[in-house]
Amino acid sequence: MRLLPLGERAASTPSTRERPTTSGDDITPDNRGNENERHHQQPDFPALYNLANAIADRLQGWWQANASRLLVSGRRVLAETVWETTMLVRAVTEYPCPHAAVLIGPGVERLLVAPDPDNRERHIVGSLAPWGADPRHDWPHDPLAPPVVAIPDDPEQAAAIIKTRLLPPLHAALDRLDRIPQRRIDTGPTNLEPHVRVGRFPLFDMAVAHITETTPPHALDILRDHGFEDAGPGRLSLYGGNIPLARRTVRSLREAGVVVHADLARANSLAALALAMKTASHRRTAPPSSATRPRPPSAPTAPRRR
C-alpha cells in the first residue's frame, strides 16, 4: 500500500472551537477506573482525540469521530476490517498501538487514524471497509483499495489532505464495487439542524450522544434519565450495549420537541463485520474487468414450450 507524502504545509488557520485535552470516549464497563485514568494521562492520547474531532469538524457533513484506547480485541477487529492498508495493520498490531480513532462519514466512508508505525511523531489515515460492507469481499487484500495518507498535527492541513488526497480515491473505489452499500441517517420528521446526534460506537457496542451549544437543557436531562453518562466534551455515552434503550431515548427526545439525528444501525459495528467476514461462505478479491460497474445478471426466463 502506497503512502502519500505530506506535501507542502499550508498556512494554518486557528481552530474554530477549542476542546479540552481529555475525553471519556474510551471508557467501557470493563475498563473504567484507575487503568482508564492512566490511559488518559498518556500525552499522545489527548492529541489524537483532539485531532480526530477537529478533523471531523472540518469535513463536509456529519463525521463522527470516535477516539478510543485499543484492547487486544479492538486491534484485531481493526486489522481484520482494513481496506487493503497494510501500513494501518502494522500501526495497530506491531507497536502495539495503545489507541486510535475511527471517523465515520456521512455516506459509507470509514477512516482509521493511527500513529505512523515508522514515525510515531505523526499520524496516518486510511480506509476501513465501508459502512454496510459485503462480508464476502476480501477487504484486507483488495488491490483497488484507496491509499494511505500521512497527516500533520494541524487540523486544517490534515482535513485538507484528507479532502484532496484520500476522499476522491476512496469514492472512486466505492464506485467500482459490485454492490455499493446504502446508508440512511434517521433525521426524523424535520429538516432542521439537530440539537442532538446519536451514533453507535464502531468498536464497542454502545451509543454516543453528540451535543452542541444549542442543545436545550431538558434534552440533557432526558439523556441522563435514560442512562447516558458524561463522556468527555460534547458527548454522553450509553454503556452496556443497550441499543434498544438508545432508540427509546431518541423517541423520548423527539416527543419532547428535541431535533435528533440518529445513526444506530448494526452496520456501524466493525466487530459485527469482522465476525461476518469470518463466517462468509466465500471471498471475492478479483477486480472488475473495467472501471465501469458490472451489470447485474439478467432475470431468468421461462423455459420454452416444446
Cell digits for 295?
A: 451489470
| Maximum separation of any 2 CA atoms in the chain, in Å | 80
Can you give the pLDDT at residue 3?
53
Q: What is the pLDDT of residue 233?
A: 84
Look up residue 163 and give its three cell numbers. 479532502
- Residue 144, amino acid: L
- Locate cell 461476518: which residue? 276
What are the pLDDT tens digits along the chain (306 aa)? 445 544 433 333 333 333 333 333 333 444 443 434 444 445 578 888 899 999 999 999 889 999 888 888 889 999 999 998 788 888 888 766 788 999 999 999 999 999 888 887 789 999 999 998 999 988 988 888 999 999 999 999 999 999 999 999 999 999 988 777 778 789 988 888 999 999 999 988 899 999 999 999 999 999 999 999 998 888 899 998 899 999 999 999 999 999 999 999 988 889 899 999 988 865 555 554 444 444 344 444 444 444
Q: Give the model's pLDDT for residue 267.
A: 87
State residue 96's pLDDT score: 66
Cell numbers 486510535 label which residue? 100
d(CA 165, CA 261): 29
Query: Helix, strand, or coil here: 194?
Result: coil
Return the C-alpha torsion angle 266, 269, 274, 277, nearest 10: 30
Domains and CATH numbers, the chain: 40-183 (no CATH), 196-264 (3.30.70)
Q: What's the pTM value of the predicted model, to 2 decimals?
A: 0.76
- The confidence score (pLDDT) of residue 285 equals 55
Helices (H) and strands (E) in the chain, counts: 9, 11
3 state SS of 161:
helix
Looking at residue 183, what is its pLDDT? 80
